[in-house]
Amino acid sequence: MPKRRHPLRDAPTDRDAARIVPDTAQTRAPAYRLAFADQDFMLREELRPVRLQLELLKPQMMLDEHGITSTIVLFGGARIPRPEETLKARTKTLADLSHFYDEAREFARLMTLKSLESGGRENVIVTGGGPGVMEAGNRGAEDAGGHSIGLNIVLPHEQAPNEYVTPELCFNFHYFAIRKMHFLMRAKAICVFPGGFGTMDELFESLTLIQTGRMQRVPVLLFGRAFWERILNFEALADAGTISNEDLDLFSYVEEAAEAVQMIETWEETPARDSLPGRG
């Protein structure tokens, strides 16, 4: 069916027409530019609410156009090296953690094979699109012959799209908050590999949303018990009373890709927790 034409002139038509007007002092003035085509205007402080809305809408609309209904989230460190590059690692700990690159890659491969059974619409791998664990996730999806999503963000260093993100599903963000929304809006599982501040932020954001009932419960799988128990003492939080003992059930530890896939496949959905004031 042909696309229905709107009786009014559309924005692209007027944008193109505005480029061929006579060159005068009036048409060269910033005030004359079409508001939606005026980059300087769009970047003004007062336009922040509009930019927030655009960052929410653009990936949402494009993922809808590709028919993607659910995702499997991979969080993890940008500095985790490929196993063959451990000699370049900054610390021995990073070198020792390199095997999680292979686990993330294999996990993404296995999940993508299952996703392809749905036509690649369900349980699509999504990462931050950068190096390290993120690269491994997108690479594993490519190994399986499927597509994957990359949610990149503008940073001074470390964060450029890796070569394995599906190009038409590679997005770039300015606002961390909107980026995190897109990680979780379609999430059917959250897999967290060793990482730094960004990984911790993403983990605790996810746990808080589930704990407070603002998000449906999904499997939250922490790869590498030894790492996490060395870095974070969840039991101490429960002993102190700052979280409940039942909050320790919001996540599970896993070591290998196949184990994580099995836990996701056998997951029984439970209702979201009641949203109670003062939780967390």
The reported pLDDT for the residue numbered 5 is: 60
User: Taking a C-beta distance cutoff of 8 angstroms, is the pair 277, 246 a contact?
Assistant: no
* Count of residues making up the chain: 280
The reported pLDDT for the residue numbered 6 is: 61
Q: Which helix (H) or strand (E) holds 197?
A: helix 197-211
Give CA–CA dist 92/103, Å, rounded.
19
The reported pLDDT for the residue numbered 184 is: 97
Q: Taking the C-alpha atoms of 223, 226, 229 and 235 in order, what is their torsion angle to the nearest 10 degrees?
A: 90
Give CA–CA dist 231/94, Å, rounded.
14
Q: Which helix (H) or strand (E) holds 185?
A: helix 176-185
Neighbour count for residue 32 (Cβ, 10 Å)? 13
**Reported pTM:** 0.89
The reported pLDDT for the residue numbered 278 is: 46
The reported pLDDT for the residue numbered 277 is: 47
Q: Which of 208, 169, 157, 184 is nearest to 59 (CA)?
A: 169
Reduced to 3 states (helix: H, G, I; strand: E, B; else coil), residue 82 is: coil
The reported pLDDT for the residue numbered 27 is: 87
Reduced to 3 states (helix: H, G, I; strand: E, B; else coil), residue 64 is: helix
Reduced to 3 states (helix: H, G, I; strand: E, B; else coil), residue 259 is: helix
The reported pLDDT for the residue numbered 8 is: 65
CA distances from 113 to 109, 147, 151, 230 (A): 6, 10, 21, 33
Q: Which string of b and e fits 215-233 if b means at least 16 CB within 10 Å? A: bebbbbbbbbeebbeeeee
The reported pLDDT for the residue numbered 4 is: 58
The reported pLDDT for the residue numbered 10 is: 78
* CATH fold of 46-265: Rossmann fold (3.40.50)
The reported pLDDT for the residue numbered 14 is: 67
Q: Which helix (H) or strand (E) holds 222?
A: strand 220-223
Give CA–CA dist 172/160, Å, rounded.
9
The reported pLDDT for the residue numbered 280 is: 44
The reported pLDDT for the residue numbered 157 is: 72
**Mean pLDDT of residues grouped by 10 in the chain (280 residues)?**
61 74 88 90 96 97 97 96 88 93 98 96 97 97 98 81 97 96 97 97 97 96 97 97 96 98 92 57
Give CA–CA dist 272/279, Å, rounded.
14
